[in-house]
Amino acid sequence: MKTYQYYLKRIGEYGSVREVHYPIAQVVGLPHVKAQEIAIFEDGKLGEVFTLDKDQIEILLFSKDPVKIGTQVTRTNTTISVPVGKNLLGQIINPLGESFFAERKIEGLKDSVELDHEVKGIADRKRIRRPFSTGISLVDLLLPLGKGQRQLVIGDRKTGKSSFLLSVIKNQILENALVIYAAIGKKKSDIKRLQEFFQKEGLLASTLIVASDASDSPSLIYITPYTAISIAEYFKDLGTDVLVIFDDLSTHAKFYREVALLGGRFPGRDSYPGDIFHIHARLLERAGNFKHDVKGEASITALPVVETIEGDLTGFISTNIMGMTDGHIFFDSDAYYKGRRPAINVSLSVTRVGRQTQTPLKREINREITAFLTNYEKMLTYSHFGAELSDKVKTILKTGQKLQIFFDQHYKLIVPEEVQIILLSLIWLNTLNELANEAVDTLRTRLIELYQDEEKKKMLKDITRSDTFHDLLLKVAKKKEELLSLINVQSQSSNVKSTTKI
Distance, in Å, from the CA atom of 139 to the CA atom of 344, rounded to the nearest integer, reads 9
In a domain, 252, yes or no: yes
366 and 334, same structural domain?
A: no
| Percent over 90 (pLDDT), the chain | 81
Region label for 36, one of left (φ > 0), alpha (ψ between -120 and 50) or beta (otherwise)? left
More confidently predicted of 498 and 413: 413
Distance, in Å, from the CA atom of 185 to the CA atom of 82, rounded to the nearest integer, reads 19
pLDDT score of 477 more than 90: yes
In a domain, 494, yes or no: no
Distance, in Å, from the CA atom of 328 to the CA atom of 115, rounded to the nearest integer, reads 26
Average pLDDT rounded to a whole number, residues 197-210: 95
352 and 210, same structural domain?
A: yes
Distance, in Å, from the CA atom of 320 to the CA atom of 314, rounded to the nearest integer, reads 9
Nearest CA to 59 among 95, 15, 122? Answer: 15
Q: Is the Cβ–Cβ distance between 261 and 23 less than 8 Å?
A: no
Distance, in Å, from the CA atom of 37 to the CA atom of 288, rounded to the nearest integer, reads 28
Q: Is the Cβ–Cβ distance between 81 and 113 less than 8 Å?
A: yes
CATH number at residue 439: 1.20.150.20
In a domain, 101, yes or no: no
In a domain, 97, yes or no: no
Average pLDDT rounded to a whole number, residues 291-296: 94
Q: Is the Cβ–Cβ distance between 22 and 50 less than 8 Å?
A: no
Average pLDDT, the chain: 92
Give the per-residue pLDDT at 107.
Answer: 83
341 and 264, same structural domain?
A: yes
* Annotated catalytic residue within 18, 282, 352, 355: 352
Average pLDDT rounded to a whole number, residues 468-474: 95
CATH number at residue 274: 3.40.50.300
Question: What is the number of domains present in the chain?
Answer: 3
pTM above 0.75, yes or no: yes
397 and 369, same structural domain?
A: yes
CATH number at residue 25: 2.40.30.20
Q: Which of 322, 343, 358 corresponds to the end of one domain?
A: 358
241 and 144, same structural domain?
A: yes
In a domain, 119, yes or no: no
Phi and psi torsions of 151, nearest 5°: -120, 120
411 and 281, same structural domain?
A: no
383 and 350, same structural domain?
A: no
In a domain, 110, yes or no: no
Q: Which domain holds residue 232?
A: 125-358
Give the per-residue pLDDT at 488.
Answer: 66
Q: Is the Cβ–Cβ distance between 58 and 101 less than 8 Å?
A: no
Distance, in Å, from the CA atom of 249 to the CA atom of 25, rounded to the nearest integer, reads 25
Residue 157 falls in the annotated catalytic set:
no
299 and 282, same structural domain?
A: yes
| Rounded alpha-carbon distances, angstroms, from residue 48 to 11, 76, 159, 222 | 17, 10, 37, 12
372 and 282, same structural domain?
A: no
275 and 331, same structural domain?
A: yes
In a domain, 440, yes or no: yes
Confidence of residue 127 (pLDDT cuts 50, 70, 90): very high
The kind and range of the H/E element at 400 are helix 391-407
pLDDT score of 495 more than 60: no
Helix-then-strand count for the chain, H and E: 16, 19
Give the per-residue pLDDT at 483.
Answer: 81
333 and 366, same structural domain?
A: no
Confidence of residue 118 (pLDDT cuts 50, 70, 90): confident
Query: What secondary structure letter does DSSP report for 159?
Result: S
275 and 219, same structural domain?
A: yes
Q: Which of 297, 326, 358 corresponds to the end of one domain?
A: 358
Query: What secondary structure letter does DSSP report for 346?
Result: G
In a domain, 118, yes or no: no
pLDDT score of 490 more than 80: no
Give the per-residue pLDDT at 101.
Answer: 86
Q: Which of 358, 377, 404 corresponds to the end of one domain?
A: 358
